[in-house]
Structures are given as structure tokens and as C-alpha cells.
């Protein structure tokens, strides 16, 4: 029996990790909510980890915020990242955790890289300017992870996960990421609100998405089977234009109105898609949920739980 700690067990990814691990044999889940992580001083967090005999920690604490929130509150995002994440590795190391799984967002990659992004390119420049305050704090954890390995032989792996979406997402058009924000906007107009749907950017930027349950299964596969010092991409390998994404969501809502693209608003990096070469070489699990299927399930959950 192995005790697995889930940091951020109340986030979208954290809940998916709990769902997936609850199906595994010989695993006991020890949840750590975001509120607990934010309120516990480092020594108390370490004591809680040790008292629960946690052997593996999966850090699913990442906030799922979109460009709007990052642009509006860069200081908040920077300080939250520095003050919270910086304590996790020391707390786990002091508590005798045997493996720490650090889940990182794909925005840590430099801006204007050719696609697909490969892991060796992480340090080849600054991320896109809008996300720098947030993404730099996540890159710091890569340095911290390596430092703790070199000085204390602390075992950690770093997983760079492409954009996650699905049930339990942040369905707030002001702060959420692109998929939940679009879902809310199309839903409102399909319910009879007058007007057209206005979306940020030109629609020509591309992104890659992974359904949250596929992400959870990939992370668990890496937890069991990946032990190298180098970071590892977890991704679907499917690049999609934002304009095509919007059309897919509009069709799922049977929306027949106008879609307006506001190119005065930021759209971030113009192309974003991660290389899955190393992932396919080291892991056996492959993301299996198509974008259309995942969007359908996400919209179904949204209609039942948010509307």
C-alpha cells in the first residue's frame, strides 16, 4: 500500500488525479487542497506529509487561468507562484518523500519557437510577454528541483503538460482559459441573449489541448515509469487553430450567429504544440480522447453543473 499525496486536490487536474488513482490497487490518496497548501507554513506542511506517511507527491496545484487574468493581475500571479510553490519541494524533501512529481504548464517555453516544442528548448529564451510573470515562477521550480537533487539526492521529475481542459474547469470568461471562456460565451447567446460572440485575437493562433482525464492518466504513467532528470512533455500532439476550435464549439452548441475576432486583444504565442517524441519513447499511455469528444463531455458537464 502506497500513500500518494495530491497537491491541489480541488483543482480540475487534482480532481481528475483523485478519480484516476481511486481506481488503482494498493494506493491510498492523501488530498491537499489549495487552501491547505496556502495556509500551512512550510514546517506544518512537512509535518502533515510525514504524519500521513506520504511516499509520492503529485503537484497538481497549477492555477488554470487565461490570458485575460494574467494580463490584468501579473503581480498576483507572480507572488502566488513564488510564495506557494517555492515551499513544496523543501516540505517534501524534509518529510522524506521518495518521489515528487512536478506538473508544469506549457507556457514555460520561450516565445516564437518552431513547433513542435522539444524539452531541450526550455531555456532558449523568455516566454511570451503576457505570461512571463507567471511562467518564470514555474521555471524556477525546475532550478529548485535540480538543486535539491544535487545537494540532497531528492528524487523529482518535471512534467510539462499541454493546455488542459475538461469538467471542473474555470468557466469564467474574464479569468478562464480559451476553451471554458468560449463555452460560456456561446452558451449565453444560445440561451437567447442578443448579439454576436466576440473572441480575442485573430483566431489564427494555434494551440494544443489535452482532456483532463488523459492528462491525469499520462501523469500517473510518468509517476510509475519516468525517472530521468530531464523534463518530459505530456501532450496530445494535435495542433488546432483557435478559429477552428471556435467553430467546433459553436457547432456543438448549434450556434448560427456571427463570430467576431477582436485583434486588438492579445492572443499570446502564435503557435504552440509540444513534441511527443520523448513521451512516446518512455511512456505506454497515449491520450485517447479526441478534441471533439472531449469538448462534448466538457459542455455536457458544464450544462449540468454550472448553468
Quote the CA–CA distance of 148 and 89 in Å, as a whole number.
8
Inform me whether the pLDDT recorded for 78 exceeds 90.
no
In order of their start, the domains of the chain are: 2-167+208-237+273-289 (3.40.50.720)
Band the pLDDT of 65: cuts 50, 70, 90: low
C-alpha 216: how far from chain center: 10
Contacts of 143 (CB under 8 A, 6+ apart): none
Q: What is the DSSP string of the chain?
A: -EEEEEETTTSHHHHHHHHHHTTSTTEEEEEE-HHHHHHS-HHHHHHHHHHTT--EEEE-------HHHHHH-HHHHHHHIIIIIHHHHHHHHHTT-SEEEEEEEGGGSPTTPPSSB-GGGTTSSPPPGGGHHHHHHHHHHHHHHHHHHHHH---EEEEEEPEEESTT----TTTS-HHHHHHHHHHHHHTT--S-EEEES-S--EEEEEEHHHHHHHHHHHHHH---SS-EEE----EEEHHHHHHHHHHHTT--S-EEEETTS----S---B--HHHHHH--------HHHHHHHHHHHHHHHT-
In this prediction, residues 78-95 reach a mean pLDDT of 88
Band the pLDDT of 189: cuts 50, 70, 90: confident
Alpha-carbon distances, residue 239 vs 116, 206, 208, 275 (angstroms):
9, 6, 5, 11
Between residues 283 and 131, the one the model is more confident about: 283
pLDDT tens readout for residues 115-172: 999 999 999 999 988 889 988 999 999 999 999 999 999 999 999 999 999 999 988 8
Pair 267, 130: CB distance under 8 Å? no
Between residues 129 and 44, the one the model is more confident about: 44
Quote the CA–CA distance of 29 and 223 in Å, as a whole number.
14
pLDDT of residue 128: 87
pLDDT of residue 31: 98
Amino acid at each position: 500500500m502506497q500513500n500518494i499525496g495530491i497537491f491541489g486536490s480541488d483543482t480540475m487536474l487534482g480532481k481528475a488525479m483523485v478519480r484516476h488513482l481511486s481506481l488503482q490497487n494498493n494506493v491510498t490518496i492523501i488530498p491537499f487542497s489549495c487552501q491547505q497548501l496556502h495556509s500551512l507554513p512550510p514546517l506544518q506542511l512537512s509535518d502533515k506529509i510525514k504524519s500521513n506517511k506520504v511516499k509520492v507527491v503529485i503537484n497538481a496545484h497549477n492555477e488554470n487561468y487565461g490570458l485575460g487574468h494574467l494580463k490584468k493581475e501579473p503581480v498576483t500571479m507572480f507572488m502566488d507562484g513564488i510564495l506557494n510553490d517555492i515551499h513544496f519541494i523543501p516540505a517534501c524533501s524534509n518529510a522524506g518523500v521518495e518521489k515528487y512529481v512536478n506538473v508544469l504548464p506549457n507556457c514555460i517555453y520561450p516565445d516564437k519557437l518552431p513547433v513542435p516544442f522539444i524539452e531541450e528548448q526550455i531555456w532558449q529564451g523568455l516566454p511570451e510577454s503576457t505570461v512571463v510573470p507567471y511562467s518564470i515562477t514555474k521555471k524556477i521550480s525546475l532550478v529548485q528541483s535540480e538543486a535539491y537533487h544535487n545537494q540532497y539526492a531528492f528524487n523529482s521529475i518535471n512534467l510539462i503538460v499541454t493546455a488542459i481542459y475538461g469538467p471542473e474547469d474555470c468557466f469564467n470568461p474574464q479569468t478562464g482559459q480559451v476553451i471554458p471562456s468560449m463555452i460560456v460565451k456561446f452558451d449565453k447567446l444560445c440561451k437567447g441573449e442578443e448579439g454576436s460572440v466576440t473572441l480575442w485575437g485573430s483566431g489564427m493562433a494555434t494551440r494544443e489541448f489535452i482532456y483532463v482525464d488523459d492528462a491525469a492518466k499520462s501523469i500517473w504513467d510518468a509517476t510509475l515509469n519516468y525517472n530521468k532528470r530531464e523534463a518530459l512533455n505530456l501532450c496530445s500532439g494535435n495542433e488546432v487553430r483557435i478559429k477552428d476550435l471556435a467553430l467546433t464549439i459553436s457547432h456543438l452548441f448549434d450556434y448560427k450567429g456571427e463570430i467576431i475576432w477582436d485583434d486588438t486583444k492579445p492572443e499570446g504565442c502564435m503557435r504552440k504544440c509540444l513534441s511527443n517524441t520523448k513521451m512516446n519513447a518512455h511512456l505506454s499511455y497515449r491520450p485517447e480522447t479526441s478534441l471533439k469528444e472531449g469538448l462534448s463531455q466538457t459542455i455536457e458537464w458544464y450544462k449540468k453543473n454550472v448553468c
